[in-house]
Structure 1
């Protein structure tokens, strides 16, 4: 471990360099623009200097010579700008004006260093489980999933029991030399095809809204239980499995109304495990990837499902059901390939050995080209649109390279 004196010296050198950058940029820009505009820009330049210097020098032992996650730069900049704007308004003493930002920076960068060290430990720990959804949706989807399982890349798959190719997919899964565990992929928003359940919402948002309206809950709850029991029965018929591991198409299992039904039936139907989506933000993502997540709605989905998982996990524990500790696949849902998949995979590592039921899960949706040709395009309209994208082949290729 680096001696404290050496670290303090490096911290001072980097801090002094950042201050010099701030002054230099401020003097340079001050010739062409007002101080109120030049100062935030100079502050940003100083923040970048500190961000790089502390990651590569001061806390190199923790970072391994890599940059901090970019969110620490954003946090440091926003906090410092806010504090430096607020303190003069409060008529704070000079010492407070000088040392408060210094103390805050020390806290932020040391916290960033601990986070980086933790991530590096995870990468040397237990890897997550790579999991594919929608087995049984179409032959082109099944073939991609089976190929990944056969090559040892995949550690689990979720079976869409009402999918057109579900029976054939289960047979192919059984033929694997060492088939990974299967999970029931509970589907409410499309494909359940039960005529006595006319009121079930056909979208995640409308299902979530129905959970908040008591009169809608009372009307939908019995129909929801009917669909769940039908799919559990079909799952047992296809797989011969008694104990049920359960997740959901579009993560519907986390919607409170759906979770109520799952917990109510857990004992009678031997449901033992339910997937949750508590997803840590990956380290080392480019701004382009963050923008992609924002454009595709992944960031919004992440926020919603983080909240729903936070509500669901205590309920699952109280009911004695197991769940995964962490998850990856919402932030870049539909685009889990390339750097997005690698960074998500690395972040999902566990620093300690844990039992399989608790292991982090990384979710992908692989498929062969033209997989939609084998889908029931009237019943699975949302999935048809999703699997038309060549991102499905990119996810398959990236998974093969993990």
Structure 2
């Protein structure tokens, strides 16, 4: 769609609310949509019959109107965000139906000029009603929006991670942290954060279920397939995902599922002991392993007995306003691939959780630019989450980061070989600084 003049883009909300300004913007967007319709129709008309090209051209025009009216005409109601997609579907279906049926039902006695006026202005009036309704719906949703919670993973992984998390929480820059119960610095980290909770009861602690590295929590003799000769958990995210592809009755899957059950219960018990907490449990996963089907199924089975009432959802909307170089970084760092995998797993997990009444967050950011949540990606993610409406059985959106001070120990000595390069990266300090400034 052709860009509207900058003087319209930067118009204040007060002037946008002026009826004359709004009518002018509505007309401009309508003209742009008509140009899009004509251009697409002429282009497609060279490749296919006009009767087939016209619905596609009309769809392109509808999309232009959908975006233009949300961004400009009804900006006071939408805040510049898109309408809910249902309004595009409604507008397209209604207009196609009316344009197809109206010429057939108009009486032959209607004068030609009147007939043309009805055919031209009926869709215009219907569109005005539909987009106005969409704008009121957007305004209502915006009034129900919630600010995202800023959350940090890996409390207990190291003193460096603990220091950054505690400083941010103390400064009011962090709303929660996930506890790595077998981390080498977990006791000190949890004790300090629990002390902070006396001043900030809203600080949320979660169990950060870890199945890919670090010491096991269950007896080594009970989980021989999950650990290496040093007693460290050895199955990678990919290995757990591959295991999930085996049939449920496959001997290997059944055997490891039994051992997984032991380790999950042991980590929950360790978490409750560390946190002196028998309250309903909030849970997520180190490297998001809790979403892998074989793991998630185990968590669902024990959820009632272990009082698991919330599990993290990583379904992440694309942030807007980012330069292409950031998207190239997301592709190059495998963030986009990870996003695709976790999007599929999150949707599967969410369906199961909803049936059991297990809540989750109503939005998420932290996969696409994982490990590099600073600068424009952090600000864009925060802005995108801030625009999300509240949803039933969903808590506030979560913005996930991994802040840390400079690492002073070798985590490989404690069995966290996967986390060692991640925790040693200068990005940990960049994320720490960015969260302080957010």
Same fold, judged at TM 0.5 (above): yes
Deviations 1:266-296 (A, max 9, x none): 1111111111111111111110111111111
Partner in structure 1 of residue 188 of structure 2: 168
Q: How far apart in 2 are the matches of 1:119 and 1:335?
A: 27
2:59 aligned residue (96, 104, 110): 104
> C-alpha separation between the residues in 2 aligned to 1:342 and 1:370?
26
Query: Take 1:143 and 1:237, find their aligned partners in 2: how far apart are those partners?
Result: 22
In the other structure, the counterpart of 2:340 is: 303
CA distance in 2 between partners of 1:254 and 1:14 (Å): 44
Alpha-carbon shift at residue 85 of structure 1 (Å): 6.9
Could you tell me the TM-score, scaled by structure 1's length?
A: 0.76
Deviations 1:41-73 (A, max 9, x none): xx9xxxxxxxxxxxxxxxxxxxxxxxxxxxxxx
In 2, Cα distance between equivalents of 1:246 and 1:352: 23
Q: Aligned partners of 1:226, 1:113: CA distance in 2, in Å? A: 55
How many residues are paired up?
338
TM-score normalised over the length of structure 2: 0.70
Gaps of at least 5 residues in structure 1 are: 20-42, 44-79
User: Structure 1 residue 325: deviation in Å?
Assistant: 1.1
Deviation at 1:297, TM superposition (A): 0.7
Aligned pairs (5 A) from 1:322-401: 322-349=359-386, 352=389, 358-371=395-408, 373=409, 375-377=411-413, 379-401=415-437
Q: What CA distance in whole angstroms lies between the structure 1 residues aligned with 2:380 and 2:310?
A: 26
**The structure with more radius of gyration:** 2
- Residues 118/251 of structure 1: CA separation in 2 closer, same or farther (3 Å cut): farther
Cα pair distance change 1:7/1:104, threshold 3 Å:
farther
User: C-alpha separation between the residues in 1 aligned to 2:69 and 2:155?
Assistant: 40
Query: Does residue 148 in structure 1 map to residue 168 in structure 2?
Result: yes
Residue 293 in 1 paired to residue 330 in 2?
A: yes
| 3-state DSSP of counterpart to 2:361 | coil
CA shift, 1:377, in A, is 3.6
Deviation at 1:303, TM superposition (A): 1.1
2:131: which partner in 1? none
Q: Which one of 184, 197, 203 corresponds to residue 236 of structure 2?
A: 203
Contact preservation (8 Å) 2:401, 2:431: yes
Which of these residues, 186, 191, 212, is aligned with residue 189 of structure 1? 212
Which region of structure 1 is more displaced relative to structure 2, 113-122 or 391-400?
A: 113-122
Is 2:33–2:62's contact at 8 Å kept on the other side of the alignment?
no
**Distance 1:90-1:118 versus aligned 2 partners, 3 A rule:** same
CA distance in structure 2 between the partners assigned to 1:240 and 1:395 by the alignment? 30
| Pairing of 1:100-139 with structure 2 (within 5 A) | 102-113=57-68, 117=78, 120=81, 125-139=145-159
The offset of 1:356, in angstroms, is 10
Deviation at 1:14, TM superposition (A): 4.6
Distance 1:313 1:244 in 2: 17
| Distance (Å, rounded) in 1 between the aligned partners of 2:387 and 2:410 | 38
Q: Give the gaps of 5 or more residues in structure 2.
A: 1-16, 72-77, 82-138, 227-233
More RCO (CA 8 Å, sep 6+): 1
SS in structure 2 of the partner of residue 173 of structure 1:
helix
RMSD over equivalenced CA pairs, Å: 2.9
